[in-house]
Structure formats: C-alpha cells, structure tokens
Structure 1
Amino acid sequence: MMKLHLICVGKLKESYWRDAFAEYEKRLGQFCNFSLTELPECRLPSDPSAAQIAAALEKEGEWIEKASTGSKVIALCIEGKQFSSVEFAEKMESYGVQGYGSIDFIIGSSFGLSQRVKEKADLRISFSPMTFPHQLARVMLMEQIYRAFQIINHGKYHK
C-alpha cells in the first residue's frame, strides 16, 4: 500500500477546515497509509520586507527538508504545472508502477516555498492561476488525492 505524507506549514485553524480534511483523510484509509506533518510558520511583522520573507522561507524550507522522507516529492506552488484530475491520477499511478512506495506532498506558508524546496521537488503542481487560502488548498489537495485513487480504482466518485 502506498504511503502518502503531507507536509504543511501552518495549522488548520477553523473547525470546518479540520472536519473537511478529516473526512478525506478517513476516505483515503482504504487506498493508502496517510500521515500529516504540520510545521510552524515563521513569525513575521505585519509588513515584512522581502529579506525577512526570504529568511522565513529558508527557515521553513529547512524544517520541510527535515520532515521529508526522501520519497517522491510533490510541491504545491503557483508556478507549478496544472493537471486535470485524470492526469493527476495517471501521474500518481505512474509513481506506483515505477516502484515508488511513498509520496511527500508539500504545502508552504502564505508566502509560499523556498526556492530550494521547489528545486528539490520531483514535481511542482498548481491548482489554478488563482490564489486560494492555504487552508482551502490543503482540503482541495486531499479531495484531489482521494479523487485520484477513485479514478485509479475505477470508483464511481469521479464522473
């Protein structure tokens, strides 16, 4: 059974995001071994400079690298490639066929990910050129992972 590890900077603060996340986490149990690592977000002033943001992203990047299992790494970032749900499912299935038993998914802070984390990722994906709250992006990723497993296993969820 494939192992999926979600590494996120920040926590889900509102209960409705936690409930939605928990629902997809429960559903994924039949398809994979899922784990979540939530890392702290670096504290920044209300109007941070570019240098302060860069330093925070580097620090968060160090924490992300320590949390990563060294498996296939998929980073969510605005400059990533956009996939249809079927294409995303095919990509996940191809990793399994190629013998990769685990995938790390990475979601950075509200300022994104360090360049180093992006460069080390095996794949960078983006949901849209639109900007979404990071809490929503986490739920959207879980839904798409669940949808991918439904597609791979010919389930009725994806129409």
Structure 2
Amino acid sequence: MLLHIIARGKIGRSAEAELTERYLKRIAWKTRVTELPDRGGRVPDPAANAVTIVLDERGKPLSSVAFAKLLEGWRDTGRREARFLIGAADGHEEQLRDKADLLMSFGPATWPHMLARAMLAEQLFRAVSILDNHPYHRDG
C-alpha cells in the first residue's frame, strides 16, 4: 500500500523537511509526498480503492497502536493507497473534511502544519514498525 502525504505549503530546506525525510526513508512501504500551494492547486485524484485521511484538529485522536491497526486493516482489505491530507495554517475546506474516510487529530493542541508533516511521517514509521514487530515502538 502506498502511504501518500498531500500537504499544503512548501516545506523547502528546513529542519522540518529533514526530519520528515528521515522518517519517510525508514518506512518499508512505498511513500510519496505531494506539495500543494497554501491556497488553490488541485488535490490529486485518489488511486482506485484508496482511503483518505484528513488531519484536522476536530478529528479523532488515535494511539500509535490503534493507528497501526487501521493501516493494517486497510492494507489487508486491498486498499492501494492511504492519502493523508495536511492543510495550511487555515486548515481544510469543509467539503474536503466531509469527503474524508477519517478525520484524524494529533490531539487538542494546535500544531504548525510544517511540523505536522514530520509528526505524521514519524507516526507512519512507528505504525509500520509495530506491524513488522520492530522494536522501535515500546508499549507502556
């Protein structure tokens, strides 16, 4: 399954970009990052049988293990792509949130959208590590 991060804003050459890339390189599954301008631009069409996850402050907070189980379920039911949408500073349009298969949150705090990329990349690496029984994640 392809793990596809679709994010608003250009991350450029920054500490957040380096951290994001460090985690994405460690993921055993295929990954892709698509950057869009802060406003406008077209969200790429999903692959057939894709699942769309929108990161949103009103979304559901998930533990790392619960997140890994979701990825496992999507993978095992033949989902070809998991699309993770990260908005710009003003978040997402209501229409995009309404179309999402899952609204996901990193908790009640407000996070800079560039840092959210690194946090998502780390959680994707952690989830795949959990599924591969890699010792990176330590429960409890």
TM-score band by shorter chain is over 0.9
Rounded Cα–Cα distance in structure 1 between residues aligned with 2:83 and 2:57: 18
Q: CA deviation at 1:73?
A: 0.4
Q: What secondary structure does 1:41 align onto?
A: coil
- What's the TM-score, normalizing by structure 2? 0.92
Q: Which residue of 1 aligns with 2:30?
A: 33
Rounded Cα–Cα distance in structure 2 between residues aligned with 1:12 and 1:82: 25
Which one has a larger percent helix, Structure 1 or Structure 2? 1
Q: How does 1:1-159 map to 2 (within 5 A)?
A: 2-28=1-27, 31-42=28-39, 59=40, 63-64=42-43, 67-70=44-47, 71-159=50-138
Larger Rg: 1
Residues 9-61 of structure 1, C-alpha deviation per residue, up to 9 Å, x if partnerless? 10114521111111011101xx211111100113xxxxxxxxxxxxxxxx45x
Rounded Cα–Cα distance in structure 1 between residues aligned with 2:116 and 2:46: 22
- What's the TM-score, normalizing by structure 1? 0.81
Rounded Cα–Cα distance in structure 1 between residues aligned with 2:32 and 2:102: 19
CA RMSD of aligned residues (A): 1.2
Gaps of 5+ in 2: none
1:12 partner amino acid:
I
Q: Which residue of 2 aligns with 1:51?
A: none
Rounded Cα–Cα distance in structure 2 between residues aligned with 1:154 and 1:12: 32
Q: What secondary structure does 2:85 align onto?
A: strand
Q: CA deviation at 1:68?
A: 3.3
Contact 1:68 1:104 in 2 (8 A): no
Percent identity, aligned pairs only, is 38
Rounded Cα–Cα distance in structure 2 between residues aligned with 1:126 and 1:157: 22
Rounded Cα–Cα distance in structure 2 between residues aligned with 1:106 and 1:121: 9
